[in-house]
Copies of this chain bind each other. A is one copy, B any other.
Amino acid sequence: MHSGRVASRSAEPRDPRESRNGGGPHLDAVSLAIIEQLQEDGRRPYAAIGKAVGLSEAAVRQRVQKLLDQGVMQIVAVTDPLTVGFRRQAMVGVHVEGDVEAVADALGAMDECEYVVMTAGSFDLMVEIVCEDDDHLLEVINRRIRAVPGVRSTESFVYLKLKKQTYMWGTR
């Protein structure tokens, strides 16, 4: 038995919402190892994960369930949008006047908006847009985004080719 695994720092301050962002609660080494296993293969059996991290199958299952419930991680299929029929993507840098966070929320409410991040630099926000074709992209950028109150100006970077896209955070 790998019972040397005592899970000392087990008591995590339960803050289901804090895991969203801000100074998130720290995951212990075991949960991190579980996440790494699932980043390699999201369908890996619990027993195999347990063997790799030194836990029983049931323990892994409960930890995974909690990580999912807390929103710390999600297990999903990811694809290259181009392969799935979305032929136009763009990164859009946004200059904001006023409440940046409010604008970010407004942009994030759009379906075509895949990714929203507040940044330091010459842009206040960067958003990734996924569209079906040129007309769709044009409409989203010129009519929808610029119509949001607080958006002063935008700069678009249309995707020509996706070269790398990994999901291996923490596995280094």
A positions within 8 Å CB-CB of B: 17, 19-22, 24-27, 32, 35, 38-43, 72-87, 90-91, 93, 101, 104-105, 107-108, 111, 113-123, 126, 130, 155-167, 169-170, 172
Contact = CB atoms under 8 A, between A and B. Distances in A.
Given A75-B76, A119-B158, A160-B120, A169 B81 contact: yes
B157 A126 contact: yes
Number of copies: 2
A79 B25 CA distance: 13
A74 B72 contact: no
B73 A74 contact: no
Contact of A27 (B20, B83, B118): B83
Given A74-B77, A169-B84, A117 B104 contact: no
18 contacts: A20-B87, A22-B82, A24-B80, A24-B82, A39-B77, A42-B75, A43-B43, A74-B77, A75-B78, A78-B78, A91-B119, A93-B157, A105-B163, A108-B163, A117-B159, A117-B161, A118-B163, A119-B157
